[in-house]
A = this chain, B = another copy of it.
Amino acid sequence: MRARVLVTLRPGVLDPQGEAVRHALGTLGFAGIEAVRQGKLIEIDLARSDPAAAAAEVREMCEKLLANTVIETYSIEIA
């Protein structure tokens, strides 16, 4: 069972990486880009086969390690 965790900075937290990407895209000639935010994608292959239990376990991983919940939020997708 595969879990996909998306970790993004909370709205209002400065995102210099995203800003750099936005600037670089503008330099390359792409117009009409309003905002770019950069985050992390973490794919986890789990031995568990129960989706609900897997989601609960991954949520615990996020709280303990994968996300800094002071400045980041996360979402979990189980496939």
Interface residues of chain A, those whose CB is within 8 Å of chain B, are: 6-8, 18, 21, 24-25, 28, 30-48, 57, 60-61, 64-66
Least CB separation from A36: chain B residue: B44
Residues of B within 8 A of A21 (CB): 42, 65-66
The closest CB in chain B to the CB of A66 belongs to B21
B36 near A43 (CB under 8 angstroms)?
Answer: yes
So how many copies of this chain end up in the complex?
2
In the complex, are the beta carbons of B57 and A30 less than 8 A apart?
yes
Interchain CB contact (< 8 A) of A47 among B6, B32, B40: B32
Tell me, rounded to whole Å, the shortest Cβ–Cβ distance linking A5 to chain B.
Answer: 10
Contacts of A30 in B (CB 8 A): 57, 60-61
